[in-house]
Amino acid sequence: MTPALPANGHKQAQHIDARRRHHILVFVSYITSLVMFFYGVRSLNQDSLLLPLILFATGGCFLLNVLLYHLSQQLNRACIIEALLVGTFVLSLVYQGGHNNTALYWVFPFPAILFGLLGVRHALASNALLLLVLGIMLFTPDLILAEYKEAESSRFLASLVIVIIVCWINDHYRERSHAAMEQLQQSKELQANTDPLTGLANRRFLDSSLIPALEQQSDELLPLAVIMCDLDHFKQLNDQYGHDVGDEVLKAVATVFKQNIRQQDIACRFGGEEFLLILPHTNTTDAHLVAEKIRLQLSKERLNAAAPDYQLTASLGVATCNKTTAFYDAVKMADQQLYQAKHQGRNQVCG
Protein backbone atom coordinates (compact mmCIF):
# COMPACT_ATOMS: atom_id res chain seq x y z
CA MET A 1 0.00 0.00 0.00
CA THR A 2 1.05 3.64 -0.27
CA PRO A 3 3.29 4.56 2.68
CA ALA A 4 1.96 6.65 5.52
CA LEU A 5 4.73 9.18 5.72
CA PRO A 6 5.70 10.88 8.97
CA ALA A 7 4.79 14.55 8.65
CA ASN A 8 8.34 15.86 8.80
CA GLY A 9 7.42 19.08 7.03
CA HIS A 10 4.42 19.56 9.29
CA LYS A 11 6.51 19.02 12.41
CA GLN A 12 9.11 21.49 11.18
CA ALA A 13 6.39 24.08 10.50
CA GLN A 14 4.95 23.51 13.98
CA HIS A 15 8.42 23.93 15.49
CA ILE A 16 8.97 27.23 13.66
CA ASP A 17 5.55 28.51 14.73
CA ALA A 18 6.26 27.51 18.33
CA ARG A 19 9.55 29.45 18.22
CA ARG A 20 7.68 32.49 16.88
CA ARG A 21 5.13 32.34 19.69
CA HIS A 22 7.92 31.76 22.20
CA HIS A 23 9.71 34.96 21.16
CA ILE A 24 6.49 36.99 21.21
CA LEU A 25 5.66 35.66 24.69
CA VAL A 26 9.13 36.44 26.04
CA PHE A 27 9.23 39.88 24.43
CA VAL A 28 5.80 40.89 25.72
CA SER A 29 6.55 39.54 29.18
CA TYR A 30 9.90 41.20 29.71
CA ILE A 31 9.76 44.39 27.65
CA THR A 32 6.14 45.25 28.39
CA SER A 33 6.57 44.62 32.10
CA LEU A 34 9.66 46.82 32.09
CA VAL A 35 7.66 49.63 30.46
CA MET A 36 4.85 49.11 32.97
CA PHE A 37 7.20 49.29 35.95
CA PHE A 38 8.78 52.46 34.51
CA TYR A 39 5.45 54.24 34.11
CA GLY A 40 4.21 52.77 37.35
CA VAL A 41 7.04 54.48 39.24
CA ARG A 42 6.39 57.75 37.40
CA SER A 43 2.70 57.64 38.33
CA LEU A 44 3.29 57.15 42.07
CA ASN A 45 3.11 60.92 42.69
CA GLN A 46 -0.49 61.08 41.39
CA ASP A 47 -3.41 61.48 43.73
CA SER A 48 -4.86 58.10 42.75
CA LEU A 49 -2.95 54.87 43.30
CA LEU A 50 -5.15 52.90 40.90
CA LEU A 51 -2.93 53.49 37.84
CA PRO A 52 0.35 52.39 39.49
CA LEU A 53 -1.52 49.43 40.99
CA ILE A 54 -2.70 48.36 37.52
CA LEU A 55 0.78 48.80 36.03
CA PHE A 56 2.69 47.04 38.82
CA ALA A 57 0.18 44.19 39.13
CA THR A 58 0.06 43.52 35.39
CA GLY A 59 3.84 43.76 34.99
CA GLY A 60 4.31 41.38 37.91
CA CYS A 61 1.80 38.90 36.44
CA PHE A 62 3.59 39.02 33.09
CA LEU A 63 6.89 38.16 34.76
CA LEU A 64 5.33 35.40 36.87
CA ASN A 65 3.72 33.86 33.77
CA VAL A 66 6.97 33.84 31.79
CA LEU A 67 8.81 32.37 34.81
CA LEU A 68 6.27 29.53 35.03
CA TYR A 69 6.65 29.01 31.27
CA HIS A 70 10.44 28.67 31.57
CA LEU A 71 9.93 26.08 34.32
CA SER A 72 7.15 24.07 32.68
CA GLN A 73 7.73 24.69 28.93
CA GLN A 74 3.94 24.70 28.49
CA LEU A 75 3.81 27.18 25.63
CA ASN A 76 0.09 26.97 24.85
CA ARG A 77 -0.90 27.50 28.45
CA ALA A 78 1.50 30.42 28.85
CA CYS A 79 0.18 32.10 25.68
CA ILE A 80 -3.43 31.77 26.83
CA ILE A 81 -2.59 33.24 30.24
CA GLU A 82 -0.64 36.05 28.57
CA ALA A 83 -3.60 36.84 26.32
CA LEU A 84 -5.92 36.98 29.34
CA LEU A 85 -3.48 39.34 31.07
CA VAL A 86 -3.34 41.52 27.96
CA GLY A 87 -7.13 41.76 27.82
CA THR A 88 -7.40 42.47 31.54
CA PHE A 89 -4.72 45.17 31.30
CA VAL A 90 -6.37 46.89 28.31
CA LEU A 91 -9.79 46.99 29.99
CA SER A 92 -8.34 48.14 33.32
CA LEU A 93 -6.29 50.89 31.70
CA VAL A 94 -9.21 52.17 29.63
CA TYR A 95 -11.41 52.03 32.76
CA GLN A 96 -8.92 54.15 34.74
CA GLY A 97 -7.86 56.41 31.88
CA GLY A 98 -4.10 56.23 32.22
CA HIS A 99 -1.77 59.17 32.70
CA ASN A 100 -3.51 62.37 31.53
CA ASN A 101 -6.27 60.29 29.94
CA THR A 102 -3.90 58.70 27.39
CA ALA A 103 -5.03 55.08 27.92
CA LEU A 104 -6.52 54.70 24.43
CA TYR A 105 -3.13 55.27 22.78
CA TRP A 106 -1.69 52.23 24.55
CA VAL A 107 -4.35 49.82 23.29
CA PHE A 108 -3.24 49.66 19.63
CA PRO A 109 -0.25 47.26 19.98
CA PHE A 110 -2.27 44.60 21.75
CA PRO A 111 -4.47 43.25 18.90
CA ALA A 112 -1.27 42.27 17.05
CA ILE A 113 0.07 40.65 20.23
CA LEU A 114 -3.10 38.54 20.53
CA PHE A 115 -2.72 37.34 16.94
CA GLY A 116 0.89 36.42 17.65
CA LEU A 117 0.03 34.49 20.82
CA LEU A 118 -3.22 32.75 19.88
CA GLY A 119 -3.27 32.23 16.13
CA VAL A 120 -5.77 33.62 13.64
CA ARG A 121 -9.05 32.03 14.71
CA HIS A 122 -8.76 32.44 18.47
CA ALA A 123 -7.16 35.89 18.18
CA LEU A 124 -9.95 37.15 15.92
CA ALA A 125 -12.57 35.99 18.42
CA SER A 126 -10.61 37.50 21.35
CA ASN A 127 -10.16 40.83 19.59
CA ALA A 128 -13.83 40.94 18.63
CA LEU A 129 -14.82 40.34 22.26
CA LEU A 130 -12.34 42.96 23.48
CA LEU A 131 -13.67 45.45 20.92
CA LEU A 132 -17.25 44.82 22.04
CA VAL A 133 -16.45 45.35 25.73
CA LEU A 134 -14.44 48.50 24.96
CA GLY A 135 -17.37 49.84 22.93
CA ILE A 136 -19.75 49.25 25.82
CA MET A 137 -17.35 50.91 28.27
CA LEU A 138 -16.67 53.96 26.10
CA PHE A 139 -20.29 54.66 25.22
CA THR A 140 -21.56 54.00 28.73
CA PRO A 141 -19.61 56.66 30.67
CA ASP A 142 -21.13 55.70 34.01
CA LEU A 143 -19.32 52.35 33.86
CA ILE A 144 -15.79 53.81 33.95
CA LEU A 145 -13.76 56.37 35.89
CA ALA A 146 -12.10 57.97 32.88
CA GLU A 147 -13.79 60.66 30.80
CA TYR A 148 -13.43 60.39 27.03
CA LYS A 149 -15.01 62.63 24.46
CA GLU A 150 -17.54 60.93 22.23
CA ALA A 151 -15.61 61.89 19.08
CA GLU A 152 -12.41 60.54 20.63
CA SER A 153 -14.06 57.24 21.52
CA SER A 154 -15.62 56.73 18.09
CA ARG A 155 -12.37 57.52 16.27
CA PHE A 156 -10.47 55.21 18.59
CA LEU A 157 -12.85 52.31 17.96
CA ALA A 158 -12.79 52.87 14.20
CA SER A 159 -8.98 52.90 14.22
CA LEU A 160 -8.90 49.78 16.38
CA VAL A 161 -11.20 47.95 13.95
CA ILE A 162 -8.80 48.81 11.11
CA VAL A 163 -5.83 47.54 13.10
CA ILE A 164 -7.62 44.25 13.88
CA ILE A 165 -8.64 43.74 10.25
CA VAL A 166 -5.10 44.40 9.00
CA CYS A 167 -3.69 41.98 11.59
CA TRP A 168 -6.25 39.36 10.57
CA ILE A 169 -5.48 39.72 6.85
CA ASN A 170 -1.74 39.48 7.50
CA ASP A 171 -1.93 36.41 9.73
CA HIS A 172 -4.64 34.68 7.70
CA TYR A 173 -2.66 34.79 4.48
CA ARG A 174 0.58 34.00 6.27
CA GLU A 175 -1.00 30.79 7.56
CA ARG A 176 -2.39 29.97 4.10
CA SER A 177 1.01 30.55 2.54
CA HIS A 178 2.69 28.27 5.06
CA ALA A 179 0.00 25.60 4.54
CA ALA A 180 0.50 25.72 0.76
CA MET A 181 4.28 25.38 1.13
CA GLU A 182 3.85 22.51 3.59
CA GLN A 183 1.47 20.71 1.22
CA LEU A 184 3.95 21.14 -1.63
CA GLN A 185 6.77 19.77 0.52
CA GLN A 186 4.69 16.76 1.57
CA SER A 187 3.80 16.12 -2.08
CA LYS A 188 7.49 16.14 -2.99
CA GLU A 189 8.30 13.77 -0.12
CA LEU A 190 5.48 11.45 -1.17
CA GLN A 191 6.71 11.34 -4.76
CA ALA A 192 10.28 10.74 -3.67
CA ASN A 193 9.23 7.85 -1.43
CA THR A 194 6.80 6.15 -3.82
CA ASP A 195 7.51 3.73 -6.67
CA PRO A 196 5.88 5.34 -9.74
CA LEU A 197 4.89 2.04 -11.38
CA THR A 198 3.16 0.23 -8.52
CA GLY A 199 2.27 3.10 -6.19
CA LEU A 200 3.99 1.26 -3.32
CA ALA A 201 6.73 2.61 -1.11
CA ASN A 202 10.25 2.43 -2.49
CA ARG A 203 13.59 1.71 -0.80
CA ARG A 204 14.18 5.40 -0.11
CA PHE A 205 11.09 5.31 2.12
CA LEU A 206 12.86 2.94 4.51
CA ASP A 207 15.70 5.33 5.34
CA SER A 208 13.83 8.62 5.07
CA SER A 209 10.61 7.68 6.86
CA LEU A 210 10.43 4.20 8.37
CA ILE A 211 13.69 4.26 10.35
CA PRO A 212 12.95 7.70 11.91
CA ALA A 213 9.44 6.47 12.76
CA LEU A 214 10.91 3.36 14.43
CA GLU A 215 13.22 5.54 16.52
CA GLN A 216 10.45 7.93 17.56
CA GLN A 217 7.50 5.54 17.91
CA SER A 218 9.03 2.17 18.75
CA ASP A 219 6.23 1.24 21.18
CA GLU A 220 3.64 1.69 18.42
CA LEU A 221 5.52 -0.42 15.85
CA LEU A 222 7.44 -3.19 17.64
CA PRO A 223 7.50 -6.16 17.36
CA LEU A 224 7.64 -5.67 13.62
CA ALA A 225 7.51 -8.48 11.06
CA VAL A 226 9.05 -8.27 7.60
CA ILE A 227 8.16 -10.45 4.61
CA MET A 228 10.48 -10.56 1.63
CA CYS A 229 8.67 -11.63 -1.56
CA ASP A 230 10.22 -12.45 -4.93
CA LEU A 231 8.23 -13.39 -8.05
CA ASP A 232 9.36 -16.73 -9.46
CA HIS A 233 10.71 -16.88 -13.03
CA PHE A 234 9.68 -13.28 -13.67
CA LYS A 235 12.45 -12.85 -16.27
CA GLN A 236 10.79 -15.51 -18.39
CA LEU A 237 7.55 -13.52 -18.35
CA ASN A 238 9.37 -10.41 -19.60
CA ASP A 239 11.24 -12.39 -22.27
CA GLN A 240 8.12 -14.15 -23.55
CA TYR A 241 5.51 -11.40 -23.38
CA GLY A 242 7.53 -8.17 -23.14
CA HIS A 243 8.22 -5.62 -20.44
CA ASP A 244 4.85 -3.89 -20.86
CA VAL A 245 3.09 -7.08 -19.77
CA GLY A 246 5.64 -7.48 -16.98
CA ASP A 247 4.83 -3.98 -15.74
CA GLU A 248 1.11 -4.73 -15.74
CA VAL A 249 1.76 -7.90 -13.73
CA LEU A 250 3.80 -5.92 -11.19
CA LYS A 251 0.92 -3.47 -10.77
CA ALA A 252 -1.49 -6.38 -10.33
CA VAL A 253 0.80 -7.90 -7.68
CA ALA A 254 0.80 -4.56 -5.83
CA THR A 255 -3.02 -4.69 -5.83
CA VAL A 256 -2.92 -8.20 -4.33
CA PHE A 257 -0.67 -6.90 -1.54
CA LYS A 258 -3.03 -4.02 -0.79
CA GLN A 259 -5.99 -6.39 -0.61
CA ASN A 260 -4.29 -8.78 1.82
CA ILE A 261 -2.56 -6.53 4.37
CA ARG A 262 -3.93 -4.22 7.04
CA GLN A 263 -4.24 -0.45 6.84
CA GLN A 264 -1.22 0.01 9.11
CA ASP A 265 0.97 -2.39 7.11
CA ILE A 266 3.29 -1.19 4.36
CA ALA A 267 4.15 -2.81 1.05
CA CYS A 268 7.43 -1.70 -0.48
CA ARG A 269 8.87 -2.42 -3.92
CA PHE A 270 12.39 -3.40 -2.93
CA GLY A 271 13.74 -3.71 -6.44
CA GLY A 272 12.71 -5.26 -9.76
CA GLU A 273 10.30 -8.11 -8.95
CA GLU A 274 11.25 -8.16 -5.25
CA PHE A 275 8.91 -6.73 -2.59
CA LEU A 276 9.14 -6.10 1.15
CA LEU A 277 6.08 -6.17 3.40
CA ILE A 278 6.34 -4.43 6.78
CA LEU A 279 3.83 -5.46 9.44
CA PRO A 280 3.85 -3.50 12.74
CA HIS A 281 2.89 -5.29 15.97
CA THR A 282 3.08 -8.71 14.31
CA ASN A 283 4.85 -11.86 15.46
CA THR A 284 6.48 -14.50 13.25
CA THR A 285 3.51 -16.89 13.33
CA ASP A 286 1.01 -14.26 12.19
CA ALA A 287 3.44 -12.94 9.56
CA HIS A 288 3.84 -16.48 8.21
CA LEU A 289 0.05 -16.75 7.88
CA VAL A 290 -0.09 -13.46 5.96
CA ALA A 291 2.74 -14.58 3.68
CA GLU A 292 1.02 -17.90 2.97
CA LYS A 293 -2.26 -16.11 2.23
CA ILE A 294 -0.50 -13.86 -0.29
CA ARG A 295 1.34 -16.81 -1.87
CA LEU A 296 -1.92 -18.68 -2.42
CA GLN A 297 -3.64 -15.59 -3.79
CA LEU A 298 -0.87 -14.95 -6.29
CA SER A 299 -0.82 -18.56 -7.47
CA LYS A 300 -4.57 -18.49 -8.17
CA GLU A 301 -4.63 -15.18 -10.05
CA ARG A 302 -4.32 -14.71 -13.79
CA LEU A 303 -2.80 -11.27 -13.56
CA ASN A 304 -2.79 -10.13 -17.17
CA ALA A 305 -5.14 -10.79 -20.08
CA ALA A 306 -2.22 -10.64 -22.53
CA ALA A 307 -0.64 -13.64 -20.79
CA PRO A 308 -3.62 -15.85 -19.90
CA ASP A 309 -1.59 -19.04 -19.68
CA TYR A 310 1.09 -17.61 -17.43
CA GLN A 311 0.74 -18.71 -13.81
CA LEU A 312 2.64 -16.48 -11.46
CA THR A 313 4.09 -17.87 -8.24
CA ALA A 314 6.16 -16.27 -5.51
CA SER A 315 8.69 -17.29 -2.89
CA LEU A 316 8.57 -15.55 0.48
CA GLY A 317 10.81 -15.24 3.53
CA VAL A 318 9.67 -14.12 6.99
CA ALA A 319 11.58 -12.56 9.91
CA THR A 320 10.80 -10.32 12.89
CA CYS A 321 12.39 -7.26 14.43
CA ASN A 322 12.17 -6.56 18.17
CA LYS A 323 14.60 -3.62 18.42
CA THR A 324 14.73 -0.32 16.55
CA THR A 325 18.35 -0.96 15.60
CA ALA A 326 17.67 -4.44 14.22
CA PHE A 327 15.40 -3.60 11.29
CA TYR A 328 17.94 -4.22 8.53
CA ASP A 329 19.10 -7.36 10.31
CA ALA A 330 15.53 -8.61 10.07
CA VAL A 331 15.38 -7.67 6.39
CA LYS A 332 18.60 -9.59 5.80
CA MET A 333 17.21 -12.61 7.64
CA ALA A 334 13.96 -12.48 5.61
CA ASP A 335 16.06 -12.32 2.44
CA GLN A 336 17.96 -15.42 3.54
CA GLN A 337 14.68 -17.21 4.21
CA LEU A 338 13.50 -16.13 0.75
CA TYR A 339 16.52 -17.76 -0.88
CA GLN A 340 15.90 -20.85 1.22
CA ALA A 341 12.38 -20.97 -0.27
CA LYS A 342 13.89 -20.61 -3.76
CA HIS A 343 16.37 -23.37 -3.03
CA GLN A 344 13.63 -25.72 -1.81
CA GLY A 345 11.64 -25.44 -5.06
CA ARG A 346 9.99 -21.96 -5.06
CA ASN A 347 6.31 -21.09 -4.51
CA GLN A 348 6.57 -21.45 -0.73
CA VAL A 349 7.13 -19.56 2.51
CA CYS A 350 10.14 -19.98 4.77
CA GLY A 351 10.82 -18.43 8.13
What span, in angstroms and rounded, lies between the C-alpha atoms of 187 and 346? 39
Torsion of CA 327, 328, 334, 338, to 10 degrees: 160
For 275, the enclosing helix (H) or strand (E) is strand 274-280
The SS3 of residue 108 is coil
- For residues 76 and 53, is the Cβ–Cβ distance under 8 A? no
Contacts of 330 by beta carbon, 8 Å cutoff, 6+ apart: 224, 226, 319, 320, 321
* Catalytic (active site) residue 147: no
182, 273, 292, 301: which one is catalytic?
Answer: 273
Integer Rg of the chain from CA: 32
What span, in angstroms and rounded, lies between the C-alpha atoms of 85 and 335? 62
Nearest by Cα to 157 from 192, 185, 178, 128: 128
The SS3 of residue 273 is coil
What span, in angstroms and rounded, lies between the C-alpha atoms of 302 and 324? 39
| Residues taking part in catalysis | 273
